Amino acid sequence: MIIILKETATDEQVNHVVERVEALGFSAHLSRGTYRTVIGVIGDESKIVPPQLEAIAGVAQVVPVMPAFKLASRQAHPQPTIVEVGATKIGGGNLGMIAGPCAVESAERLDSIAGAVVKAGANILRGGAFKPRTSPYSFQGLGEEGLQILRDVGKKHGVPVVTEVVDPRHVDLACEYADMLQLGARNMQNFVLLTEVGKTDKPVLLKRGMSATIKDWLMSAEYVIAQGNTNVVLCERGIKSFDSATRNLFDVAAVPQIHELSHLPVIVDPSHATGRPELIPACALAGVAAGADGVHIEVHDKPEEAMSDGPQALLPPQYAELMDQIRKVAAAVGKKI
């Protein structure tokens, strides 16, 4: 990192900064310019907390050379990470196609939906057993019963399953049934939950928070990776905007930005991003064209009867048609399902 000193810094203050850096076990390289004096710090930046150095008299600014999300960064891992969820690969040219209802409602309904989406080409089945809702009176999920149904239906149709965890106390339970753990937008900065899923050996699907910057999002991934779990898949699901035309603002530019900054795979969720079924196909295709490593879509056979998020779900025939289109775009950009 680079330490920039104030123009008014005295020789005594400069020498004190150098001594402090060396006391921490690093090499300090002093460079005096006409207007500025800077100190280059050589060593493992993760062992230095910038605010500690900024508190020293005479220091104007501490500039890290490595990004704060060191383990998630492209510098730390130049090659793209491929995350395996059961037999499904996400990243490195492989598309993870996640589909299913917002919530597990019954074994019969999930079985019907799963059969349709898997036939269309989905390779991961989704379904929520614990549902964080805006209203405490809304359907909150079936809990462990829902997890059992999801696992059984996934096995029947030969695909891995992903479900959301919303409480650190549910992590071990979810691990018994699910192949992948999802952290929703509301929990992207639930650092206790991030730490707990980081201690597991399950792949993690980390959705972007509703008001999160790219850096915020990657720092949340850093929490998981720092615990030893490197199998993190990021999911762009839209961010809050002043415009109410869509449920959220679909930030398709986040896809190439993530690929530039990080080695982690990133998928898109046009269902939550738009909240409008008629917009989902175009946004899904745009995401794949931008380089996304997969698409997450809500599908329901009877949206008007859905316990949650029915208005934004595609019907099975619509999903099958979209999958045909996605295959064409994927082939054009050198990716496969």
Q: What is the pLDDT of residues 7-50, one digit of tens each?
A: 888 999 999 999 988 888 888 888 887 778 898 887 776 666 66
Read off the pLDDT of residues 291-333 as tens digits, 9 standing for 90 and up.
999 999 999 999 998 888 788 999 999 999 999 999 999 999 9
Instruction: Kindly tell me the burial class for residue 69, based on how many C-beta atoms sit within 10 Å of its own C-beta (0-12, 13-18, 19 or more).
Output: buried
Q: Which of 16, 32, 63 is the last residue of a domain?
A: 63
pLDDT at residue 46 in the model: 61
Which domain-ending residue is among 35, 63, 91?
A: 63
CA distance 107 to 19: 66
Q: What is the pTM of this model?
A: 0.85
**Running DSSP on this structure, what letter comes out for residue 208?**
P
Number of domains in the chain: 2
Q: What is the DSSP secondary-structure string of 5-23? A: EPTT--HHHHHHHHHHHHH
- Would you say residue 222 has pLDDT above 90? yes
Q: Report which secondary-structure segment, H or E, holds 286.
A: helix 280-289
CATH of the domain at 43: 3.30.70.1140
| Dihedral, 16, 19, 25, 28 alpha carbons, nearest 10 | 90
Is residue 324 located within the same domain as residue 290?
yes
Say yes or no: 47 and 147 in one domain.
no
Shared-domain flag, residues 32 and 131: no
* Residue 48 belongs to domain spanning: 2-63
Residue 106, domain CATH: 3.20.20.70
Helix (H) or strand (E) segment spanning residue 298: strand 294-298
Per-residue pLDDT of 105-162, as tens digits, reads 999 999 999 999 999 999 999 999 987 767 777 777 899 999 999 999 999 999 999 9
> Per the domain annotation, does 111 fall within a domain?
yes
Whether 17 maps to a domain, the answer reads yes
Whether residues 179 and 121 share a domain: the answer is yes
Q: Are residues 87 and 29 in the same domain?
A: no
Contact call for residues 218 and 247 (beta carbons, < 8 A): no
Same domain, 27 and 151: no
Q: Which residue has the higher pLDDT, 1 or 172?
A: 172
- Rounded Cα distance between 314 and 95, Å, is 19
**Residue 268 sits in the same domain as residue 151:** yes
Q: Is residue 73 part of a domain?
A: no
pLDDT > 90: percent of the chain: 77
**CA neighbours closer than 13 Å in the CB half-sphere of residue 154:** 28
* Token output for 285: 């295709």
99 DSSP β-pair partners: 125, 297
pLDDT of residue 47: 63
Based on the fold, state whether residues 204 and 315 are members of the same structural domain: yes
Helix, strand, coil: what percent of the chain each, to 5? 40, 20, 40
With respect to residue 125, please indicate whether it lies within any of the assigned structural domains. Answer: yes
Is 210 among the domain residues? Answer: yes
